[in-house]
Amino acid sequence: MNKVLNRMDLQSESNAIDQKVQDLLARMTLAEKIGQMNQQDATGDTVSADMAEAIRAGRLGSVINLSNAAVGNELQKIAVEESRLGIPLVAARDVIHGFKTIQPIPLGQAATWNPDLVQEGARVAALEARKNGIHWTFAPMIDISRDARWGRIAESFGEDPFLTTQMGVAMVMGFQGDDLSDNGSIAACAKHFAGYGASETGRDYNTTNIPENELRNVYLPPFKAAADAGVATFMASFSDIDGIPASANEFLFQQVLRGEWRYEGMTISDWDSIRQLSDHGLTDGDRDAAHQALIAGLDMEMAGDAYLNHIEGLIDEGLVSEHRIDQMVGNILRLKFQLGLFENPYTDPDDFEEYGNPAAMAVARQMADESLVLLKNDNAALPLDKQKLSDIAIIGPMADEPYEQLGTWIFDGDPDLSITPKSAIEALVGNSARLHYSRALECTRNCGWEDIDSAVLTAEKADVALLFLGEESILSGEAHSRANINLPGRQEELIQKVKATGTPIVAVIQAGRPLTLTNILDDCDAVLYAWHPGSMGGPAIADTLFGVRPPTGRLPVSFPRAVGQLPLYYNHKNTGRPATDDTVIAIDDIPIGSTQTSLGMTAFHLDAGYRPLFPFGFGLSYTEFEYANLTLDRPELTDGQTLTVTVDITNTGKRDGTEIAQLYVRDHVGSITRPIKELKGFQSVDVRAGETKTASFELKSEQLAFYRRNKSFGTEPGKFSVWVGPNADEGIELQFQLI
């Protein structure tokens, strides 16, 4: 009964807002409507005369990159008290993985496999952003990302639609809270709609070529889930799909988003992407670009002036109706009413906790803790025992970099809040061992002085060498794609020279993407992947290295052996000639003078095989887990039913640990070819040493649905496999029938 009443209340509130929107639209001039569709950059500590006049005249509805709450209040005062209708501004900002308190990059957040924690992190970010006068963030980025060369993979949740969906929805809920009008809530934005992560060669802004079945089955599901979760806004991608840039793509915004999904929220271009339609070669000038974007249904233009300059003329010529403009402006006004800006347009920073308060830092700490992925640990090199070590070497350009550990897209991040690995290790070790520090390289690239020789001397006198390596934050993110994703600069040489000393090496890698580690893996006794871990990365790394807590992170992306394997993802198709371990032939095993033959005659690279270096879902612990007794509660499943899958997980090691159990399925025969595996569930299981726990999954029949050959969405009967295991390459398998 309470749920019914709640739905009735929500519908009543929605109807009331719609009436307010219509009443306001009826009083607006066309120029004022067009002004609401205009968003401009407000960077700076003062209000410019031009911007003040634009707001006063009703020619500006939104600002981006607001510097602080004082400037925001000054702008808002002009809008509310000096413009004809007093329509408040909505202030936007890229709040991607924290505001002042920085959490791990989204790719690192995905490595936690903990949606509840991601939701908490987004809530912290929302509160800090709202204190600064921000009402709207351009996150989450839920582009499926299969190519580590792409700089914006750092902003993503990885390669898998299911994991990305879980994390994306969690972030939306964290930003928006229970009610957008609450003082600590900000509007979220699902971006980039759609397919941006498929940019060819991982080069940012590049062309994307995605067949419709792949678009619908892989790239669109996270966006559909975000829409269903009530995300307030959608942003268009920079890229094109099938020759139509997203900012002019009627199929995406009209047929799919508005038509099929019945989405009623607001849409926005990316930065100046409407005018860039002419650069794509789709339109001839800004007027034509504005026309195409209006037809597609982009409600607001970010940082351009094509709408501002050309909508009125397009209406006069009969190319666009004012009714269409009313619908689009109505979406913008509705968001402002939902945010409560008409009632509470101003921000009082004193209403919020201080930046970097203990609760915020605690969430950043837990996120960093759970994001770390142990990739290698030969001979139990980790955890370190500070009581058994006399001398510890801390080496590398990423050991003591408060700013670089924050990662990409942290315009407002405060490096003063950062605790670096070096300082955290110093605090943890205390007087138990002597610490010897050598930066070795000025930065991760070839960018200045180098002192590898001193690093070698430092390593020679230590019991263990902790090498803090990776890539600086500027090397990933928007427009920061890389063709070579090895460790940059002279870092590989540094590893080799430290290795020659005979001192065991523990490499801690901070990066915004998966790096190709093939060249250095054999030289390291242990490798801990830390992504860019945020403000509290140092304590998280220190505690994991010294066994205060075990590593629990799991990879949200496959790690390639070589860049030539990219794009690389676990849920690929089988092909007509699938590779197996028996068919792969290494390039060095081909006899000299061999006659031409289709070696192995399967899908693999002669110089890299067919497997990743580390598979999706992979991550070691300080203990070992065994899976046994996989059971299904029925051999057959019909539409509308749920299959219960259980498995026993035993901790066979000597330490307590946490396992991320992962459920995968395969549809063996379909009207279109289906992936060899698809993630359909996961759960975190705490298992004490020697203990066995049973994990249980519920697999619903609708989770087996896909867009079929006839363009409809649904299931198809047939044979399915189900696996439960620690990653996409391992697990116990059973089969069932969908009938």
The pLDDT value given to residue 8: 62
Confirm whether 543 is a catalytic residue.
Answer: no
Would you tell me which CATH number, out of the four given (3.20.20.300, 3.40.50.360, 3.40.109.10, 2.40.160.40), belongs to the domain 30-38+89-351?
3.20.20.300
Q: Which residues pair with 663 in a beta bridge?
A: 681, 724
Q: What is residue 161's three-state secondary structure?
A: helix
If we measure between CA atoms, which residue out of 675, 620, 607, 382 comes closest to residue 507?
382
Q: What CA–CA distance (Å, rounded) separates 732 from 406?
A: 39
Q: What CA–CA distance (Å, rounded) separates 454 from 33?
A: 65
The pLDDT value given to residue 590: 87
What residue spans define the domains of the chain?
A: 30-38+89-351, 39-87, 625-738
Q: What are the Cα distances from residue 576, in Å, to 215, 567, 601, 611?
A: 22, 19, 10, 17
The number of CA neighbours under 13 Å toward the Cβ of 606 is 8
Residue 1: is its pLDDT beyond 60?
no
pTM score of the predicted model: 0.97
Residue 177: is its pLDDT beyond 70?
yes
Residue 128: is its pLDDT beyond 90?
yes
The pLDDT value given to residue 67: 86
Residue 5: is its pLDDT beyond 60?
no
Q: What CA–CA distance (Å, rounded) separates 505 from 495?
A: 8
pLDDT level of residue 599 (50, 70, 90 thresholds): low
Largest CA-CA distance found in the chain, in angstroms, rounded: 84
pLDDT level of residue 446 (50, 70, 90 thresholds): confident
Question: For the residues of 328-361, what is the DSSP string, one character each?
Answer: HHHHHHHHHHHTTTTT-----GGGSPPTT-HHHH
Interval 38-85: pLDDT, tens: 999 999 999 999 999 999 999 999 999 998 999 999 999 999 999 999
The pLDDT value given to residue 129: 98
Q: What CA–CA distance (Å, rounded) separates 274 from 121?
A: 32
**Total Cβ atoms within 10 A of residue 306:** 27
Q: What CA–CA distance (Å, rounded) separates 254 from 250?
A: 5
533 Cβ contact partners less than 8 Å away, ≥ 6 residues apart: 104, 108, 368, 371, 372, 405, 407, 510, 540, 541
The pLDDT value given to residue 449: 86
The encoded tokens of residue 194 equal 């759609």
Please state the rounded mean pLDDT for residues 676-691: 98
Yes or no: say if 141 and 106 are a contact pair by the CB < 8 Å rule: yes
The pLDDT value given to residue 6: 64
Residue 7: is its pLDDT beyond 90?
no
Interval 103-115: pLDDT, tens: 999 999 999 999 9
Cα four-point dihedral sign 236, 237, 240, 245 = positive
% of the chain beyond a pLDDT of 90: 95
Q: What CA–CA distance (Å, rounded) separates 567 from 538?
A: 32
The encoded tokens of residue 361 equal 């830092």
Q: Indicate which residue of 94, 147, 160, 270 is catalytic.
A: 270
The pLDDT value given to residue 10: 67
Residue given tokens 């930003």 in the structure block: 175
The pLDDT value given to residue 12: 75
Q: What are the Cα distances from residue 197, in Å, to 152, 159, 216, 538?
A: 8, 9, 14, 30
Interval 621-665: pLDDT, tens: 999 999 999 999 999 999 999 999 999 999 999 999 999 999 999
Residue 558: is its pLDDT beyond 80?
yes
> 9 or 300: which carries more pLDDT confidence?
300
Residue 2: is its pLDDT beyond 80?
no
Q: What CA–CA distance (Å, rounded) separates 678 from 704?
A: 10
Q: Which amino acid is at 61?
A: G
Yes or no: say if 196 and 238 are a contact pair by the CB < 8 Å rule: yes
For 344-463, where are the E strands, in sequence order? 373-377, 391-395, 434-438
Q: Helices 69-77 and 49-56 sit at what angle, rounded to 10 degrees? A: 40
Please state the rounded mean pLDDT for residues 217-238: 98
Give the helix/strand (H/E) hosting 228.
helix 221-228
Q: What is residue 166's three-state secondary structure?
A: helix
Average pLDDT, the chain: 96
The pLDDT value given to residue 413: 97
Residue 601: burial class (beta carbons within 10 Å; 0-12, 13-18, 19+): exposed
The pLDDT value given to residue 14: 83
The pLDDT value given to residue 472: 97
Please state the rounded mean pLDDT for residues 216-233: 98
Interval 249-272: pLDDT, tens: 999 999 999 999 999 999 999 999
Interval 133-150: pLDDT, tens: 999 999 999 999 999 999
Phi, psi of 429, rounded to the nearest 5 degrees: -75, -35
The encoded tokens of residue 280 equal 């794509």
Fold of 625-738: Immunoglobulin-like (2.60.40)
> Of 9-23, 465-479, 616-630, where does mean pLDDT reach its minimum?
9-23
The encoded tokens of residue 461 equal 């006198």
Q: What CA–CA distance (Å, rounded) separates 607 from 586?
A: 6
Cα four-point dihedral sign 458, 445, 146, 136 = positive
The pLDDT value given to residue 510: 98
Interval 405-438: pLDDT, tens: 999 999 999 999 999 999 999 999 999 999 999 9
Q: What is residue 605's three-state secondary structure?
A: strand
